[in-house]
Amino acid sequence: MAPKSWAENLSSKRQYDVKPVAKDMAGMKQGQLMLITSPQIMNAFIKEIPVGESIDMKTLRSQLAAKYDAEVCCPITSGIHLRVVAEAAYEEYCKAGTTKDITPFWRAINSKSPTIKKLTFDPEFVYKQRNLEGLES
């Protein structure tokens, strides 16, 4: 069986969950309500970031958690789903040849983001899009 495309991963039926943190980890305290996001939630959130604005992962996670009545947002699934969003958007860019209708993931990824090192495509694409919007690379 062939591996799923990034677009298929993005459109998966995975549901988000909010549950207590099992033990202290990654700056989260046991018992805090934690959002475990989904690729669709991450995609929708990033689509709402206005042109010319960017967000760091800490702020993104904090805002997502608040939106879903949680205290914190899982850093592991957030990073994974940000990558799924970026890879799926880049796949679409490669097909369409334009960034017009893709999710502007470069507003949530910069040169210091751990995700940038994991992308399957050249990070120069991210830097170019950020520069076009006047964002720091």
pLDDT tens column, 51-109: 999 999 999 999 999 999 999 999 999 999 999 999 999 999 999 999 999 999 999 99
Give yes or no for a contact between 90 and 126, defined as CB atoms under 8 angstroms apart: no
pLDDT score of 16: 93
pLDDT at residue 108 in the model = 97
pLDDT in tens, 2-39: 678 898 888 888 889 999 999 998 888 999 999 999 99
Residue 110 zone, left/alpha/beta (φ > 0; ψ -120 to 50; rest): beta
Comparing C-alpha atoms, which of 85, 78, 84 is closest to residue 28?
Answer: 78
In three-state secondary structure terms, 122 is coil
pLDDT at 118: 96
Dist. CA 66–CA 35, nearest whole Å: 9
What pLDDT score was predicted for residue 99?
Answer: 95
Answer yes or no: is pLDDT of 117 > 80. yes
Q: How far apart are CA 128 and CA 54, in angstroms?
A: 14
Q: Do 91 and 5 meet the contact criterion of CB atoms below 8 Å apart? A: yes
CA–chain centroid gap for 27, Å, is 19
